[in-house]
């Protein structure tokens, strides 16, 4: 593993841990009192992970870094999901791991890697557009 990927993996895992903490402490205790979880609750729960992707995207230096870091981030999330599923932690990781193992082991890593590439590409692209914009006079 290249040393440049270590911060990407670390930031991704911190975002995943904070996402899960938001889910466990913010959503799970309220589940008995609601029929449908409001979208704002989900957004607040996944916000740390989204912020992590923005931080990683701003750390990239060139377009050629996007696939490498996106795959590293996606596979880090996949590994996180395996650990959390084996721990029987609440959330979607457990559902996919135990109830749809073929889907989990085949499409899971591919999907997460592609999401990582797309997410980092979007952030990096927006950053590049912002840099190329001429200053207002």
Please write the tens of the pLDDT for every residue from 32-82. Answer: 887 877 888 878 888 888 889 889 988 888 888 889 998 998 889 888 888
The pLDDT tens digits for 87-114 are 887 766 666 677 777 777 777 778 888 8
What b/e string do you get for 95-133 counting C-beta neighbours within 10 Å, with b at 16 or more? ebbeeeeeebeeebbeebbeebbebbbebbeeeeeeeee
Determine the Cα–Cα distance for residues 46 and 115; give it in Å rounded to an integer. Answer: 14
Secondary-structure percent of the chain, ordered helix, strand, coil, rounded to 5: 80, 0, 20
Q: Cite the beta strand spans of 1-137 per DSSP E.
A: none
Q: What pLDDT score was predicted for residue 90?
A: 74
Phi/psi class of residue 11: alpha, beta or left (left: φ > 0; alpha: ψ in -120 to 50)?
Answer: alpha
> What does the block give as tokens for 64?
């050629």
Q: Which residue in 8, 11, 16, 83 sits closest to 45, CA to CA?
A: 16
Q: What pLDDT score was predicted for residue 7?
A: 93
- pLDDT interval class at 11 (50, 70, 90): very high
The pLDDT tens digits for 112-129 are 888 888 888 888 888 888
Q: Does residue 2 register a pLDDT over 80?
A: no
pTM of the model: 0.79
Q: What pLDDT score was predicted for residue 132?
A: 72
Q: What pLDDT score was predicted for residue 9?
A: 93
Q: Which residue in 132, 135, 122, 14 sits closest to 58, CA to CA?
A: 122
Q: Does residue 136 register a pLDDT over 90?
A: no
């Amino acid at each position: 593993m290249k040393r440049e990927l270590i911060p990407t993996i670390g930031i991704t895992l911190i975002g995943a841990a904070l996402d899960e903490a938001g889910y466990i402490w913010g959503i799970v205790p309220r589940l008995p009192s609601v029929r449908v979880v409001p979208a704002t609750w989900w957004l607040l729960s996944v916000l740390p992970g989204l912020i992590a992707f923005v931080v990683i995207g701003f750390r990239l230096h060139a377009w050629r870094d996007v696939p490498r870091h996106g795959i590293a981030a996606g596979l880090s999330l996949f590994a996180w999901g395996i650990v959390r599923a084996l721990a029987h932690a609440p959330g979607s990781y457990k559902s996919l791991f135990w109830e749809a193992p073929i889907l989990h082991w085949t499409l899971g890593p591919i999907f997460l890697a592609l999401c990582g590439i797309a997410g980092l590409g979007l952030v990096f692209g927006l950053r590049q557009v912002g840099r190329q914009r001429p200053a207002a006079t």
